[in-house]
Amino acid sequence: MQKNNFQYILYLLVILTVFSCVGEGGSFFKPKRISPPSLEDRVGSSRAEDLGRASWQQPTFIVSKLGDLEGKTVADIGSGTGYFTFHLAHLSKRVIAIDIDEEMLAYIDTYKSDKPNIETRLAEPNNPMINTGEIDKALIVNTIGYIEDLQGYLRTLRAGIVKGGTLVISDFKAPDIHVPTPSQENIVSVKSLEKDLLDAGYIDISIDDTTLQYQYVVTAKVPD
């Protein structure tokens, strides 16, 4: 009899544990978005994957969405180890590599000696730390999934872009085993992004979710 009581109590504890993980609407609690990959992970993988990455990332195509960069100041937000920063440095007057990780920026500083037009800048998770009207264009690649308040972030960023300026965002459509995609909790759907951009005050939003196999590219404008 005592054994049966113990089994019954154990059964109730298991049931209570399961239901404690279920939130409103009957879905299991989803953890907060995880932090971006560490410097060791990103540097170690980038050295081996840069050539392969070019084939699916198509950086030239993504950068072309920014338009003419001659004489322009561009922010590479979520720059990481500078994959796009160095692409942009060849085409623009000034590039601000922005990241929340000092080690990432230090890595760029190490290799930018022949690119004096690159500036690194430490940002905050909820603020890119760009002065009002400081940049002409902004590029965000593989980063929006790690921003907690994306709409608020985009609104803050808008103030840093000149009137009529351009924002280009490229991110993953879905997790995929063939490329280093984040987990589902760090995937932002293109429809959700479009809504956040509109609510943050951007206009002329253009979506390309067919050219790249694994990613979409969204272009938006700051009103004049």
46: pLDDT strictly greater than 70: no
> Are 146 and 212 members of one domain?
yes
Identify whether residues 151 and 200 lie together within a single domain.
yes
pLDDT at residue 103, as a whole number: 96
Per-residue pLDDT of 92-102, as tens digits, reads 999 999 999 99
Local structure of residue 34 (DSSP, 8 states): P
Same domain, 89 and 77: yes
Looking up residue 167, the CATH number of its domain turns out to be 3.40.50.150
Residues 80 and 180 in one domain: yes
Query: Tens digits of per-residue pLDDT, 113-154?
Result: 999 999 999 999 999 999 999 999 999 999 999 999 999 999
Report pLDDT for 28: 32
Same domain, 16 and 82: no
pLDDT of residue 182: 85
Q: How far is CA 72 from CA 36, 78, 132, 187, in A?
A: 28, 19, 15, 30
Choose between 30 and 109: higher pLDDT.
109
| Residue 126 identity (one-letter amino acid) | N
Residues 19 and 40 in one domain: no
Count of structural domains within the chain? 2
- Tell me the mean pLDDT in the region 30-46: 42
- What average pLDDT does the structure give for the chain? 84
Same domain, 163 and 205: yes
Cα-Cα end-to-end distance for the chain: 79
pTM, to two decimals: 0.79
**How do residues 154-211 score in pLDDT, each as one tens digit?**
999 999 999 999 999 999 999 998 888 888 999 999 999 999 999 999 999 999 999 9
Instruction: Supply 9's token pair.
Output: 């109590």
pLDDT, residue 5, reads 54
| Same domain, residue pair 213 and 169 | yes
Residues 71 and 169 in one domain: yes
Residue 99 and residue 196 in one domain: yes
Q: What integer pLDDT is reported at residue 50 of this predicted model? A: 56
- pLDDT for res 16: 44
The H or E element that residue 96 is part of is strand 94-99
Q: Are both 107 and 122 inside the same structural domain? A: yes
- Range of the structural domain that residue 200 is part of: 32-221
pLDDT confidence of residue 112 = 94
Q: List all residues 6 or more positions away from 207 whose beta carbon is below 8 Å from its beta carbon.
A: 190, 194, 216, 217, 218
With a cut of 70, say whether residue 14 has pLDDT above it: no
Structure tokens at 65: 């969405």
pLDDT band at 52 (very low <50, low <70, confident <90, very high): confident
110 shares a domain with 10? no
